[in-house]
Structure 1
Amino acid sequence: MQKEEAFYIGYITKTKGLKGEVQLYFEFEDYEALDLDVVFADLNGKMVPFFVSSYKLYPNQTGLFYFDDLDHIDKAQALVKKKVYMPLNKMPERDEDDFTYDDLKGYTAVDETHGELGEIIAINEYPQQFVATVLYKEKEILFPLNEDMIVEIDEENKTLLVDLPEGLLDIYLNS
């Protein structure tokens, strides 16, 4: 399997005990809905499958996992800090009504004052808010995604109308 055929769910944070148990931190929001029978770890650029023999999920976005053929802490240690993926066909189906800030990636951002800013190339989640990244006049600009900034989301035309605070673009363009 190639990385393009998979979606990222989280990473291994540590080993637990001596029998090869590992802790997985989920960065995938709806991790409880995942069918966790097999996961893929990115080991030096190769997607290596790990078959789950048992697991227990916790409300703090973590889970403890035992994998087949991983029966000792020394074998499990190699997975620490490795990113974990699942095949795209295992992605849970979302309701059409479930729209998240991540869905705005690829949309065109338009400011009420400055006009078209450009395509949203990334959405980053920070503890207090989501932040969009747009390439505007050959500079990366960042702006928060919240109810105060967003005027309208046009799903049909894939545009996001925003009202950026006065001076925000100047900070990026004058640096």
Structure 2
Amino acid sequence: MTLDEAYYIGYITKTKGLKGELQLYFEYDAPELLELDVVFADINGKMVPFFVASYKLQNNSTGNFYFDDIDHIDKAQALVRKKIYIPLTKVPDREDEDFHYNDLKGFIVSDETHGELGEILEINEYPQQFVATVSYKDKEVLFPLHEDMIIEIDEEQQTLLIDLPEGLLDIYLNN
């Protein structure tokens, strides 16, 4: 499987205990809907499959997982901070009107003041907000996806019009 055939759901945060249990933090907003019999870890750019022996979802967007062949903390430690994916074919269908900030990945962002900033490369969910990453003038720029800043989302054209706070771009460009 390649990265193009995969859907990002979260990352491994830590090991638990000595028997290879791992904690996965979900950036997917409904992990209970996922079919988690096999997941893929991005290890040095390669999608490596891990078969799920058992797991238990928690209320705080995490789950505790045991994988086949990972039976010791030393083997589990190698997976900490690895991004976890599922095949695109296993992503649950959503209602057409269900739009999430994660759907903005790949959209072209324009700011009212600065014009086109570039393509959204990544969307990260933090406890307080979603943050988008774009490459603007060869710098990685992060900005919050907040309803007060978003002027228009055009799903057909895959564009996002925003009004960035004054000085935000300067922070990135003046480094």
The TM-score, its normalising length taken from structure 2, stands at 0.76
Residue 82 of structure 1 corresponds to: 82
1:167 positional shift: 4.9
Number of equivalent positions: 175
CA separation in 1, counterparts of 2:152 and 2:72?
Answer: 53
Task: Show CA shifts across 1:60-104 (max 9, x none).
Answer: 122122223334444434433333222221112122111122222
CA separation in 2, counterparts of 1:147 and 1:165?
Answer: 13
The structure number with the bigger radius of gyration is: 1
Residue 148 of structure 1 corresponds to: 148
Unaligned runs of 5+ in 2: none
The question of 1:15 aligning with 2:15 is answered: yes
Summarize the alignment of residues 1-175 of structure 1 with structure 2, pairs less than 5 Å apart. 1-136=1-136, 140-169=140-169
1:171 positional shift: 5.5
Compared with structure 1, are the counterparts of its residues 111 and 35 closer, same or farther at alpha carbon in structure 2 (3 Å cutoff)?
Answer: same
125-134 vs 143-152, which moves further: 125-134
164-173 vs 6-15, which moves further: 164-173
1:57 positional shift: 0.8
Tell me the secondary structure at the aligned position of residue 147 of structure 1.
coil
1:35 positional shift: 0.5
Compared with structure 1, are the counterparts of its residues 167 and 29 closer, same or farther at alpha carbon in structure 2 (3 Å cutoff)?
Answer: same
CA separation in 1, counterparts of 2:171 and 2:80?
Answer: 40
Task: Show CA shifts across 1:11-38 (max 9, x none).
Answer: 3333334443332222322211111111
1:104 maps to a residue whose letter is L
Tell me the secondary structure at the aligned position of residue 106 of structure 2.
coil
Compared with structure 1, are the counterparts of its residues 157 and 66 closer, same or farther at alpha carbon in structure 2 (3 Å cutoff)?
Answer: closer
CA separation in 1, counterparts of 2:166 and 2:79?
Answer: 47
Tell me the secondary structure at the aligned position of residue 66 of structure 2.
strand
Compared with structure 1, are the counterparts of its residues 134 and 7 closer, same or farther at alpha carbon in structure 2 (3 Å cutoff)?
Answer: closer
163-172 vs 81-90, which moves further: 163-172
Identity %: 75
Tell me the secondary structure at the aligned position of residue 60 of structure 2.
coil
The TM-score, its normalising length taken from structure 1, stands at 0.76
Tell me the secondary structure at the aligned position of residue 164 of structure 1.
coil
Unaligned runs of 5+ in 1: none
| Root mean square deviation of aligned Cα | 3.0
